[in-house]
Chain A
């Protein structure tokens, strides 16, 4: 229940900033995995210098217009995903999932990163 509450808040904010359709972060996570987004971007959008040029999807994803436009029309290393293979609904849910991901800890507070 707590998890659901945490998800609801950013998704509510997303309605104000993103597409008009209702979006589900929970389903977005499923779609994120099923469409293979995680393979390059990691399961929480953390990215990798090996597969996404070090770019992160989350937290704080790009504005919806930029995000969706890139996914649909990129001609760089990432292939474009047309609405035939990734529906508008799934893309909106994926965006909601990205918005639901919390910020990481400050590296300075992680002892293993400060040996």
Chain B
């Protein structure tokens, strides 16, 4: 058995503690450090001359190492890029930088936001960017933390959103502590996410770190925007910089987004200007308020209908050229289709019917005329990764520009205006008049559709959407969650005109994105003085509900309205479809749906869940007439600067 080691400083401190403990209760005495009890020594040892000198004289050498900690320099680099927040879960492998961020950086720009899961950290950064247009920095263990973060990084990759992820590691096996720190180190931590990050590096010196951090930021912010990763060596963080002046921080200069080649732009404009039935389809097109304005200008020049696939807030739904309600018919009769940053061009002009036909794969149908001309502007062509299939099926198009759509719009608008023959002016005006009529009719049909199931319990999703809107319509609001899960009622019924009125979906459809992305977006809206609301699916919430605590802890105002259909609804039909094809019944358990797809028995009380994390909450609400009073109170809480949650038991979609 090893003998207890006696450290003089700890020993003297222990003696003092033991003396104090002797005068207190038994309980306190029980807490006395065990080392004291094992050592049978006098209460004080006579110090040697050397020890006495060391204890009483002014030290010749400072306890602190001279110079600057390496991680302080890292903070200088990070601050040069004006990154406002750092959502992270603490981890030993970045302790040096963590301490520097607090004590050297003052916990400002970036401010550390305490997260309970690395997936949450990245998704918060994802949502933040889609409102603020600025990337955040996420720190994590390079191994276990990055493993948690991967799905959220993949979502950001598929959604073309920049996030800077740094994973701590301890490269030098001869120096790093054994045990946990070694479990948490790897030769190449970024290998885990290399398939779905735009760039990564493992800096081996502080100057290398400065160069790579600025490069990472620059690449992440060059369309197509994407996440990037850096390995953060522990030794670099904790080394001493003896001559700070020799270290240089490269100046960040934004890269000009790639624009469509001029001849291709002109040819696209010629086709559009002369088309009888042009259609514009936009997915992740508008990056800014100016992007929305430009798309309106292009559509109005042509009086062409716009189908907004809602990867971003591309086009005001109050505009008469917003024609989502007739998307299938318009694409079917189109002679020219312009696709702007489409995630899936094939699926825009074709259909896949999951009916098991054609050797079990399903029907594939073209939805366009054989003579239709297809134009694409997308920066995603500039990505060159091959493993993950986010590039979707290959769709052959007639003009393809590897370019950023928003950056290309000014040239395309100008070219269209020049290409429009005066002889077509009357036809274009007539097209616009037809669009006004169909827009108005579609609006009336949508409102009437919302009236169905208006008074049901579980509560209809249209009713839920409009009860919320009634409470926030006079505020500067921002919808920070996806709404496809609830039949897109907010996008169909609420007037969405500003670039922050909705933020699109998760990109890669990795579930667990919704709640943290909404909190991240709400953080950006908080700084802009806006009111944020999120319709939150129940299944998505349960992946990492700790983000509710983060919202409370950092006073991030957000109204979360649970779309609680008590199931993984998306998966129900997959099981049902296969069971039906096989003439079998998938409902064999106690739940009201195929086994494995329902969240009931017991049902989850999201009000209590939020309450346990410190959040104001109400519900579960099952009757539609009970919604308004609860929502009214919740809105007051959010307006006062805190988050609130209302649990609504709903229809499936």
Chain A interface residues toward B at CB < 8 A: 33-36, 38-40, 42-44, 46-51, 54, 56, 75-77, 79-82, 84-85, 104-108, 110, 112-115
A residues near B353, Cβ cutoff 8 Å? 75-77
- Bound: A27/B159 CA distance, A: 46
Chain A residue, CB-CB nearest to B461: A48
B580 touches A80 (CB 8 A): yes
The segment from B329-337, B462-470, B508-516, B539-547 that touches chain A is B462-470
- Bound: A107/B448 CA distance, A: 5
B653 touches A42 (CB 8 A): yes
B residues near A113, Cβ cutoff 8 Å? 447, 450-451, 466, 493
Q: Give B483-497 as 1s and 0s: 1 = Cβ < 8 Å from A's Cβ atoms.
A: 011111000010000
A81 touches B580 (CB 8 A): yes
**Beyond A42-B651, A48-B653, A79-B355, is A56–B576 a contact (Cβ under 8 Å)?**
no
- Which 6 pairs across A and B sit closest by C-beta, in order of nearness? A79-B580, A46-B452, A46-B453, A48-B653, A107-B447, A112-B466
B residues near A34, Cβ cutoff 8 Å? 587, 592
A85 touches B450 (CB 8 A): no
- Bound: A34/B484 CA distance, A: 25
- Bound: A48/B473 CA distance, A: 24
Chain B count of residues within 8 A CB distance of the other chain: 49
B487 touches A56 (CB 8 A): no
B residues near A40, Cβ cutoff 8 Å? 573, 652-653
Q: Give B467-486 as 1s and 0s: 1 = Cβ < 8 Å from A's Cβ atoms.
A: 10110010000000000111
**Beyond A77-B355, A79-B577, A113-B466, is A51–B451 a contact (Cβ under 8 Å)?**
no
- Bound: A46/B449 CA distance, A: 8
**Beyond A107-B448, A107-B450, is A79–B581 a contact (Cβ under 8 Å)?**
yes
Distance in Å from the Cβ of A28 to the closest Cβ of chain B? 16
Question: At the interface, yes or no: B456 with Cβ under 8 Å from chain A?
Answer: yes
Distance in Å from the Cβ of A42 to the closest Cβ of chain B? 5
Partner of B652, one of A39, A80, A112: A39
Chain A residue, CB-CB nearest to B449: A54
A75 touches B652 (CB 8 A): no
A44 touches B456 (CB 8 A): yes
Question: At the interface, yes or no: B572 with Cβ under 8 Å from chain A?
Answer: yes
B487 touches A49 (CB 8 A): yes
B residues near A46, Cβ cutoff 8 Å? 452-453, 456, 460, 651
Question: At the interface, yes or no: B454 with Cβ under 8 Å from chain A?
Answer: yes
- Bound: A114/B584 CA distance, A: 46
Residues B491-541 near A (CB distance < 8 A): 493
Chain B residue, CB-CB nearest to A49: B487
A residues near B484, Cβ cutoff 8 Å? 50
Question: At the interface, yes or no: B594 with Cβ under 8 Å from chain A?
Answer: yes
Distance in Å from the Cβ of B364 to the closest Cβ of chain A? 13
B residues near A77, Cβ cutoff 8 Å? 353-355
B residues near A82, Cβ cutoff 8 Å? 580, 583
Partner of A39, one of B354, B461, B573: B573
Distance in Å from the Cβ of B331 to the closest Cβ of chain A? 15
**Beyond A36-B594, A77-B353, is A48–B487 a contact (Cβ under 8 Å)?**
yes
B488 touches A33 (CB 8 A): no
A36 touches B572 (CB 8 A): yes
15 example contacts (A-B, Cβ-Cβ < 8 A) are as follows A36-B593, A39-B576, A42-B456, A42-B460, A42-B651, A49-B488, A75-B363, A77-B355, A79-B581, A85-B585, A104-B448, A104-B454, A105-B451, A112-B470, A115-B470
Distance in Å from the Cβ of A100 to the closest Cβ of chain B? 14
Distance in Å from the Cβ of A110 to the closest Cβ of chain B? 6
Distance in Å from the Cβ of B503 to the closest Cβ of chain A? 19
A residues near B594, Cβ cutoff 8 Å? 36
Distance in Å from the Cβ of B506 to the closest Cβ of chain A? 16
**Beyond A49-B487, A79-B580, A82-B583, is A105–B454 a contact (Cβ under 8 Å)?**
yes
Chain A residue, CB-CB nearest to B352: A77
Residues B545-590 near A (CB distance < 8 A): 567, 569, 572-573, 576-577, 579-581, 583-585, 587
